[in-house]
C-alpha cells in the first residue's frame, strides 16, 4: 500500500516535467556478481503517466530496496540531455545478495519553438 501512495504522491509527469513528451527506460537486471541478464525491462512514461521512477528490485527477499532513477532523470532534464546510461546497485536488505541494473534512458522533449 505504501508504494501505491508514493506513486499517487509523485503526481503526473506533465506536472513535474511539463516539457517532456516521453521517457523510455530500458533496464537489464543482474544478480550479484557477473552473469547473464536475468530480465530486460522497458518502461515508457508519457505526460499522463505517474512521475514515479523507483523501480523495484526483482529479488523476492529484498526489503526496502530498488533502483531510484529520479535523480538521474532530474539531472538529465535540467541539462536537456536526450539519452544516458549507467548502473545502479540495489542497497535493500536481503539474504541472497544484491541485484544491479544497467539502464538506458531516452527523453523526448516537446518542441516549444
Q: Please give the chain's pLDDT, 113 residues, in tens.
A: 577 788 778 889 999 999 999 999 999 988 765 567 788 999 999 999 999 999 888 777 777 778 999 999 999 999 999 999 999 988 777 656 668 889 999 999 998 55
What is the per-residue pLDDT for 70?
94
What is the per-residue pLDDT for 33?
59
What is the residue-wise DSSP string for 24-75? EEEEEEE-SSS---SEEEEEEE-TTSB---EEPPS-TT-BS--EE-HHHHHH
CB atoms within 10 A of CB 70: 13
Q: Which residues pair with 102 in a beta bridge?
A: 28, 87
What is the per-residue pLDDT for 61?
72
CB atoms within 10 A of CB 25: 21
* Cα-Cα end-to-end distance for the chain: 42
Amino acid at each position: 500500500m505504501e508504494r501505491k501512495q508514493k506513486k499517487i504522491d509523485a503526481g503526473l509527469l506533465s506536472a513535474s516535467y511539463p516539457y517532456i513528451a516521453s521517457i523510455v527506460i530500458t533496464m537489464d537486471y543482474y544478480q550479484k556478481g557477473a552473469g547473464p541478464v536475468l530480465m530486460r525491462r522497458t518502461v515508457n512514461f508519457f505526460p499522463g503517466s505517474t512521475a514515479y521512477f523507483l523501480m523495484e528490485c526483482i529479488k523476492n527477499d529484498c526489503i526496502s530496496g530498488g533502483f531510484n532513477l529520479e535523480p538521474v532523470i532530474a539531472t538529465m532534464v535540467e541539462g536537456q540531455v536526450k539519452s544516458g546510461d549507467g548502473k545502479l546497485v540495489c542497497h535493500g536488505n536481503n539474504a541472497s545478495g544484491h541485484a544491479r541494473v544497467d539502464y538506458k534512458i531516452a527523453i523526448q522533449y516537446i518542441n516549444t519553438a
